[in-house]
A and B are shown apart, each in its own frame.
Chain A
Amino acid sequence: MMDSPQISPFIIFFASIITSNMVLTNFLGMCSFISISNEFKTASGLGKAVTLVMIFTTVINFAVYKFIVVPLELEYLRYVVFIIVIAASVQIIELAMDRFLPELHIKLGIFLPLITVNCAILGISLFMVIRDYNFLQSLLFGAGSGLGWWLAISTLAAIREKTNKSKVPAGLVGPGLTFIIIGLMAMAFMGFSGIFTIQ
């Protein structure tokens, strides 16, 4: 195993929220990003759920990878391992929420099953391994990416609430216009690039 990179975890945290937003620059988690961004409230709910699951699974996947997969030299099976951990974590979070935070469960419950197939969650775990992050870097990378995803989907939903009422060319109604909005958002976020200097 190679050494983890000499990057301050806090830079990773802020950079993954703003300059290299998971969905706007890495295109991860697009499916639900498009289909559940009609309404600000639901979008924000999904964002919260994704952030929660992302932090949770990053921690578990990190531990599983470090202490089980690597010692057994099963690196080639990591996709299976990660996806099963994610599916199981989602299930556990759902059960725990139902038991301890029933109100939150009613709000977020419907989103949880969707999250298993959210590419962003698996993406974080894969990036974490490829980039050899240490624990703190992984944790803040997961948290930052989750918050970044939440920020992006809430912003998109807020814009879409307005554009839903406007008149647009017939062929652009729905997904077409959404992609143009996302493109513009991605350009705006690119403007932040360079605000962090590497120490």
Chain B
Amino acid sequence: MKNDLRTVFYRNLWRENPVIRQILGICSALAVTNRLENSLVMGLGLMFVTAFSSFTLSALRNLIPDRIRMIVQTLVIAAYVIIVDIFIKANMPEISTALGPYVGLIITNCIIMGRAEAFARKNTPVISFFDGLFAGIGYTIILLCIALIREILGFGTVFGFNVNFLNFTNWTIMVVPPGAFFMIAIIIWIASGITNRGLKKKESKKEGAI
């Protein structure tokens, strides 16, 4: 398998997007998606943690004894998460209150562990760094899509600015937890719909060639 920048980019953002394809990292993802601002900060935090933990673990990959691999991974990830947590607390106090314990829960976000196990173990630090970064971006994009729709329908705002020109009643269902589940179902539906159509086209082309 080729592992240049482009394949890594494409794979993490679309073909194997952690949220919609692999259903990973949903835990901390959905709870903060009723506001775009919160989702953005959460996404940036995750990007930082995946990128740097992939980098660190890949740099250490020949040194880590197999027996304690998991615990070292957890330790490294937890360390970066704490840095993010302290940073958010110091510089964005309001968002820190809104995110509550969910920043800490980045530790158990399966995406980070997944990238560390599947990619950083076998590749060089620089490409692992980008692999982690792109996985984080893939996650953030989906988060933002969900948050955008939930915030528009639930509060009538985008990043806190009022966009409710038609004066419709806000949909409470979009603010409460079930709204998040329905939105992610719709996004998964659209994504696999596009893939399925792509597959069909390829098949019909093949048939035509014969």
Q: B79: which A residues are within 8 A, CB to CB?
A: 80
A30 to B25, CA, bound (A): 8
In the complex with contacts A130-B101, A184-B178, A186-B181, A83-B27 CB distance below 8 A: no
Query: Chain A interface mostly helix, strand, loop or mixed?
Result: helix
The answer on a CB contact under 8 Å between B82 and A79 is yes
Judged by a CB distance under 8 angstroms, whether A31 is at the interface is yes
A172 to B173, CA, bound (A): 21
B142 to chain A, nearest CB (A): 13
A118 to B57, CA, bound (A): 21
Considering the complex, give the chain B residue whose CB is closest to the CB of A128: B101
Considering the complex, give the chain A residue whose CB is closest to the CB of B79: A80
The answer on a CB contact under 8 Å between B27 and A28 is yes
The answer on a CB contact under 8 Å between B27 and A29 is yes
The answer on a CB contact under 8 Å between A123 and B105 is yes
A173 to B101, CA, bound (A): 33
What bracket does the count of chain B residues touching chain A fall in? 35 or more
1/0 per residue A169-197: CB within 8 Å of B?
A: 11111011111101110110010000000
The answer on a CB contact under 8 Å between B23 and A79 is no
State which residues 145-182 of B face A: CB under 8 Å.
173, 176-182
Query: Chain B interface mostly helix, strand, loop or mixed?
Result: helix
A126 to B82, CA, bound (A): 13
Judged by a CB distance under 8 angstroms, whether B7 is at the interface is no
The answer on a CB contact under 8 Å between B182 and A179 is yes
Q: B104: which A residues are within 8 A, CB to CB?
A: 78-79, 122, 126
The answer on a CB contact under 8 Å between A31 and B110 is yes
Q: B191: which A residues are within 8 A, CB to CB?
A: 171
Cβ contacts A to B, 15 pairs, < 8 Å: A26-B31, A27-B28, A27-B177, A31-B24, A79-B107, A80-B79, A87-B70, A87-B71, A119-B28, A119-B105, A122-B105, A127-B101, A130-B101, A172-B189, A190-B177
CB-CB nearest 3 A-B residue pairs: A183-B181, A179-B185, A119-B27
